[in-house]
Structure 1
Amino acid sequence: MTLNRKITLLLITVACGILAIFMLISLYAFRHLSIASSTGHVQTAAEIVRVLLTESMINGVIAKREQSLERLRDIRDLRTVRVVRSKWVNEQFGQGLAREMVADEIETNVLDNGRPQFALREEDGQPVFRGTIPYVASSRGTPNCLQCHQVAEGTVLGAVTIELSLTELRRQALYGALAVLVAVSLISLFAILGARRLMLPVGDTAAAIGSLVQAALRGDFKGRVQQRTKDDIGDIAAHTNKLLSFLDEGLSQISERVAQLTGRPPQHDDNQLLATIDMIDGLADATRFKATIEEDETKTEIYERFGLLLGRRFGVEAYSIYEAHGATQLAPISVDGEISGSCHWCDPQILVRSEMCRAKRSGHPVDGLVQPGICFAFRAEGGNAEPDPWRHYCLPLIQSGTVGCIVQLVARESEAAARLGQIPYIQVYLREMAPVLEAKRLTETLRDSSLRDAMTDLNNRRFLEQYVDTLIASSRRRNSPLALLMIDLDYFKMVNDSYGHDVGDSVLKGLADVLKQSVRTSDILVRFGGEEFLIVLQDADGDNALMVAEKIRARVADFKFRIAGGMLQKTVSIGVAVFPDDSETFWQTLKYADVALYRAKDDGRNRVVRFTPDMWGDETVVY
């Protein structure tokens, strides 16, 4: 119910209440006034009768009293005048007229107790007021009752009954009440109309503001309130319009700015307020996400956290994250939440021929949700034969001007519209993630360059210092030995002196290649310094280490290094020690391998020597 209707009903209710109360008061006043007035009239008429009877007795015409009483009936509205004599009068003067001898119950009571009685009753639908007044003997005045009646003071001599018709009085009272009722009704009507005229703008303004608030809750701030008056209500309407205009312009600007950040254009059917809040929440979450991944140690941790985000916030369970390796290769980082999972949603050929990936080749998003089949490398279980086939959307992440990684979102065709609506928000996270990934990549590159020998591309001594604790812990956990091969190129100084440092560098690179081909991928190659190299063989005891060392020595001896103007052959000396067989500390074992190396050199070079305790003298300093 509107405010105007409530106010109108209230005013009508108040007016009806006033009229009802007025009618009750009028009826009560009419009754009270009628009784009071009739009582006075009856008492007056009774006194006239008493005087008439007294005068008639004194004048000796008491026998003709009935005629005088009959004349009293001609008085308007006077219906009955009757006199009843008491027994005292009858005893003194004898029986009176026949009519005077009949006394009803009320008259009998009045004769007995000497108190007047009054009553209002209906006869034939007409109101009649009756009063029975006692005629009491009194010695006051001249003449007085005791001059004729031989009774005591206060004796009831008789009773006079007067009946008045109140029909005319009622009619006049009703006419008067009706006139006042009409007047009050008219005044109430004019009051209601006046109040409505004053209150209608309030109700209309309140209703308009209520409608606008409901529209604002739906994101519509375009509506305005009509300014109906120039008073406070009009000011409220004007201020409301200013507020709505301010909110509309402010939210539009915020929405446009946020849309620029998210890449999601505003939709006409969107709730502007909720959409803006949602986008701002997305930006805030993305900012928190960036602050979190900045503290992650590796890129893999970032990719794993992003995969968790896709599942928890967007409900994406089918996806792939590929990272570009070089110009032609892609590596799967995370597939359907599995780190380093195998290629599942694409042709595996993209891993070695990245140009097959449309997103990698173009550097632009590939929308397979709207355009199925746009990328020929996409592979889905069941193909398009399923009732609800799989679709995809690929987002390339640009790093240093090239595609650094690709995020592939996979969804059923029935979910394509919902997934498409999530793309702008996911892109916000990707934009926040891109610089962090780039920083991690540069950090890893710098770390890798600081841990690798630039010339041979082998690990350097610093790498060994950082990795040794992990290496030892792994060896002890698996209870497996580590064999250390310390290798030195024989007479390398003569190469530099005879052919120059360029040839020396070429020989070192060739030796590094031979060493790489001679060990497993799990083994660790380190350029220890100058022409010295260290090989850490995992899960290898002394005998296996000697076999590998001998194989390396023979291959180097047979290898022909290409130099300007011909070929060059060189040999190596190798010292072997085993951790923890030879020592409980890694660095001591390394020193033992170095001691064995120098024993091999002392024994003529181009040989392999296994460390024995007798090679360690008291003068030797622990490495």
Structure 2
Amino acid sequence: MKLTTKTTIFTITLSMALLVVLLIISLYAFRQFSLSNAEEHARTAAEIVRVGLTEAMVNGVITERERMLQRLSAVEGLRDARVVRGQPVVKQFGEGLTQERDLDSIEKDVLSHGKAQTFLEEGGEEPIFRMTIPYIATQESNPNCLACHDVKPGAVLGAVTISISLGNQKSQALLTVGAMVLALGIFSGITILLVRGQIRAIVATAEGVSHVVSLAKGGDFTARIELKEQRDDEIGTIAQDLNDMMGHLQESLGGLTRDVARVIQYESTGHKNILDTTTHMVDTLVNVAHFKQTIEEDRTPIEVYQHIGHVLRDEFLIQRYTIYEVLTDKDQLETMVVDGELKAGCRWCDLQILAQAEACRARRSAGGRVVDAVDTPGLCNMFSPRKNMEGDWTHMCIPVLHSGTISVVVQLVVERSHATFFRHQLPFIQVYLREAAPVIQAKRLLDTLRDSALRDAMTGLHNRRFLEEYLDTMLATAKRQGNSIRIMMLDLDHFKNVNDTYGHDAGDAVLIGFGKVAMAQVRASDMVIRYGGEEFMVLIAEGKDEGGSAGDVVAEKIRAAVEAMRTPVGGHVLSNTVSVGLSRFPDDGGEFWEVAKLADVALYQAKRSGRNRVVSYVAGMESEDEDKAAAKGPSPRGGEAPVRAKEEKPRKG
């Protein structure tokens, strides 16, 4: 129900209630006034009757009292005057006239108690006020009542009943009340019309305010209050102030929306709800700032990719996605995170893109344009969900640019029925990816620099610095898993002759070839380290279930592979052999570097035993080597042993 209707009903109800109350009060007041006035008239008439009867008795014409009462009844408004005798008078003078003998109950009660009584008869054509007044004997009256009546003072001599018509007073009262009600009704009607007019203006303004505020809550600040007429009161002030405020909000918030949209490269012109749009964009910028602060503290690119995956899943409710890293130098893509799994296999595209990055449409997208297959099924022929993936899937691939180069591709996979919703989220997802791009590039560069510092530049193998940094982690892992570590020291036989005879380029070629051969024989968990010069170290984790033979097997495989290795150099083909010494940590000692020296002792033993062989350390071998070295002369190997003798020339293939 509208306020105007409520106000009108309330005003009418209040006016009617006021009229009813006034009517009741007026009628009651007129009634009381009429009764009071009738009582005064009745007492006056009764006194006239008493005086008349007394005079008639004194003058001896008491028998004519009936005519006096009839003349009195002829007075306007006086309907009847009746006199009855009390018991003392009846005893003294007799029962009197016939009409004085028939007493009603009221007269009997008045004669009995000596108190006046009133009674209002309203059943007839007009209301009749009746009052019965006793005559009390007293010595103080003039003439003295006791002079004629043989009674004591205070005796009830008789009573007079006066009946007065109230019809005229009633008519006048009703006429007066009617006039008052009519006047009040007219006044109330005029008041209602005036109040309704003012209320209608207030309601119209309130409805306008409600409409404007409702649209403003929805982000539309273009609405204004339009009054039918110019007003200079509070209503006009409210309307003008609200219109000014809406204009200010439209201008300032609209400008803010455009600025924020420009920052995040978001097209906001098609959205009427600029409040929600701006709030969403600002919230996104705040979240992106926190996100960037978080990923800047990550150590590796894979940690950054994990955080991107968390954002896709938690912020944008995307459960199916793939983050590809572009290996520019190899023209390959590598899956970093797939549906929340690290380094998982390619799940949503043809495997061809992993080996040939240019096969990916997003990778070759000009200017980093999003590949959106929502409205164009089959846009990218590399999109190939696995057969066990139920549902109608489509994809949007976002190239991530840094310094004009696509370094990462983020593939979003969604059901086609929900694709429109996720498409609207693309600009906000791209904000996260743009902020992540330089961080990813920096982490990748740091990884490259770190890897360069920890690898031998020529062979590509880990260097001794890597061993020093990684050693504590490796030992802790072995201890936690209950594994032992097989330490393998390797030294190329007669390598000095290669450098002396064919030059250092030939020596470098042999070292590079050895590195490739050694890496081909070990497991992914094993480490091959260039320890220095032509000397190498291999670390092998041996589990309890392997019986402690894994190191021996790998050592023999390396020895045999090196023996079979051929290195073409300047028209010649060189063949080489390698000597290998083995020790086991912690079985052979409690300190890693001490056990490494024991592997070196075993290597020395392999050299002295004829080279091209594998020798495992046994207790006491170091003492035996010292005795043999003293008896036979110089050591066949440099380093901690004596300077080696002239090397044999390498065999030509």
TM-score, L = length of structure 2: 0.85
- Residue of structure 1 in register with 2:237 after alignment: 235
Find the partner of 2:595 among 552, 576, 589. 589
2:129 is equivalent to residue 129 of structure 1: yes
User: Which piece of structure 1 moves more, 346-355 or 476-485?
Assistant: 476-485
CA distance in 1, matches of 2:58, 2:524: 161
How far, CA to CA, are the matches of 1:572 and 1:611 in structure 2?
A: 20
Amino acid at match of 2:249: L
- Alignment check: 8 A CA contact 1:484 1:535 kept: yes
- Rounded to whole Å, the distance in 2 between the matches of 1:108 and 1:191 is 58
Indicate the residue corresponding to 2:632 in structure 1: none
Aligned partners of 1:218 and 1:273 also within 8 Å? yes
1:556-590 per-residue CA deviation (whole Å, 9 max, x = no partner) reads 5xx34424xx4374746534122225434332232
Amino acid of the structure 1 residue aligned with 2:559:
E
Which residue of 1 is the match for residue 145 of structure 2?
A: 145
Counterpart Cα distance in 2 of 1:14 and 1:618: 125
CA deviation map 1:125-159 (0-9, x unaligned): 41110011112223334333333323222322221
Q: Which residue of 1 aligns with 2:644?
A: none
Q: Which digits, 9 at most, give the CA deviation of each residue in 1:374-428, with x for residues without a partner?
A: 11111135699x9x62211111122343222212112222222222223223223
**2:169 paired with 1:169:** yes
Distance 1:91 1:543 in 2: 164
- The residue number in structure 1 matching 2:335 is 332
Aligned with 1:453 (options 451, 456, 470): 456
Which of 531, 548, 554 aligns to 2:557? It is 548
Query: Letter of the aligned partner of 1:72 in structure 2?
Result: L
Amino acid at match of 2:385: A
Q: Name the SS for the 1:81 alignment partner.
A: strand
CA distance in 1, matches of 2:387, 2:588: 60
Map Cα deviations across residues 446-494 of structure 1 (whole Å, 9 max, x no partner). 11111112222221111111222333344452535424123246353x6
Contact 2:563 2:578 in 1 (8 A): no
Give yes or no for the alignment of 1:421 onto 2:421: no
Tell whether the 8 Å contact from 2:261 to 2:268 is kept in structure 1 after alignment: yes
Of 430, 433, 441, the residue aligned with 1:430 is 433
Match of 2:622 in 1: 616
The one-letter code of the counterpart of 1:583 is G
Asked if the contact 2:559–2:580 (Cα under 8 Å) also holds between the matched residues in 1, the reply is no
Cα 1:489–1:447 change in 2 (3 A) is: farther
2:358 maps to 1:355: yes
**Matches of residues 472-511 of structure 1 in structure 2 within 5 Å?**
472-476=475-479, 477=481, 479-488=483-492, 490=494, 492=496, 505-511=508-514
Confirm or deny that 1:369 pairs with 2:382: no
Question: Shift of residue 518 of structure 1?
Answer: 5.2
The one-character-per-residue Cα deviations of 1:432-459 (angstroms, maximum 9, x if unpaired) are: 3323222221121111111112222221
Match of 1:512?
515
Distance 1:194 1:277, change over 3 A: same
Within 2, Cα distance between the matches of 1:541 and 1:95? 158
Supply the distance in 1 between the matched residues of 2:474 and 2:74 (Cα, whole angstroms).
142
Letter in 1 for 2:150: Q
Distance 1:390 1:546, change over 3 A: closer
Q: How far did residue 191 of structure 1 move?
A: 3.2
TM-score (norm 1): 0.89
Q: Does 1:578 align with 2:583?
A: yes
One-letter identity of the residue aligned with 1:207: E
Distance 1:173 1:479 in 2: 121
Provide the C-alpha distance between the structure 2 equivalents of 1:298 and 1:268, rounded to a whole number of angstroms. Answer: 40
Aligned to 1:11: 11
> Aligned to 1:126, what secondary structure does the other structure show?
coil
The letter of the residue matching 1:548 is K
Aligned AA for 1:292? T
Other-structure match for 1:288: 290
Q: What does residue 181 of structure 2 align with? A: 181
1:194-215 residue CA offsets vs partner (Å, 9 max, x unmatched): 4444444433333332333333
- Give the aligned residue type for 1:587: W
User: Is it true that 1:410 corresponds to 2:419 in the alignment?
Assistant: no
SS in 1 for 2:414: strand
Amino acid at match of 1:391: T
Structure 2 stretches of 5 or more lacking a match? Answer: 543-548, 627-638, 642-653
Q: Which residue of 2 aligns with 1:37?
A: 37
Paired residue secondary structure (1:239): helix
Instruction: For residue 500 of structure 1, report the CA deviation from its aligned partner.
Output: 6.1
Q: Secondary structure at the match of 2:375?
A: coil
In 1, Cα distance between the equivalents of 2:45 and 2:176?
A: 27
Counterparts of residues 534-545 of structure 1 (less than 5 Å): 534-539=537-542, 543-544=552-553
Equivalence map 1:109-124=2 (5 Å) = 109-124=109-124
1:507 Cα shift?
4.9
Amino acid of the residue matched to residue 544 of structure 1? V
Q: CA deviation at 1:30?
A: 1.1
Change (3 A) 1:309 1:542: closer
State the percentage of identical aligned residues. Answer: 42
Structure 1 gap segments, 5+ residues each: none
Q: CA offset at residue 99 of structure 1?
A: 1.4
Matched, 1:103 2:97: no
Describe the SS at the equivalent of 2:27. helix
Query: Which of 312, 315, 320 is equivalent to 1:313?
Result: 315
Cα deviations across residues 319-365 of structure 1 (Å, max 9, x unaligned)?
A: 22222123521122232333222222211111112211100111321
Secondary structure of 1:535's counterpart equals strand
* Residue 90 (structure 2) pairs with residue 85 (structure 1): no
- Aligned partner letter, 1:325: L
Q: Counterparts of 2:111 and 2:558 in 1: how far apart (Å)?
A: 157
CA RMSD of aligned residues (A): 3.2
Shift of 1:100: 1.8
- CA distance in 2 between partners of 1:241 and 1:27 (Å): 55
How far apart are the structure 2 equivalents of 1:216 and 1:179? 54
Instruction: Supply the distance in 2 between the matched residues of 1:280 and 1:603 (Cα, whole angstroms).
Output: 76
The more displaced of 537-546 and 52-61 is 537-546
Query: Alpha-carbon deviation of 1:511?
Result: 4.2
Give 1:618 deviation, angstroms: 11
* Matched-pair contact (CA < 8 Å) for 1:310–1:317: yes
**One-letter amino acid of the structure 1 residue matched with residue 461 of structure 2:** L
Pairing 1:552-567 to 2, within 5 Å after superposition? 552-555=561-564, 559-563=566-570, 566-567=571-572
State the Cα deviation string for residues 269-292 of structure 1 (Å, max 9, x = none).
664433433333333333333333
- SS of match in other structure, 1:360: coil
CA gap 1:516/1:549 in 2 versus in 1, 3 angstroms: closer
- Secondary structure of 2:289's counterpart equals helix
**Contact 1:596-1:615 at 8 Å conserved across structures:** yes
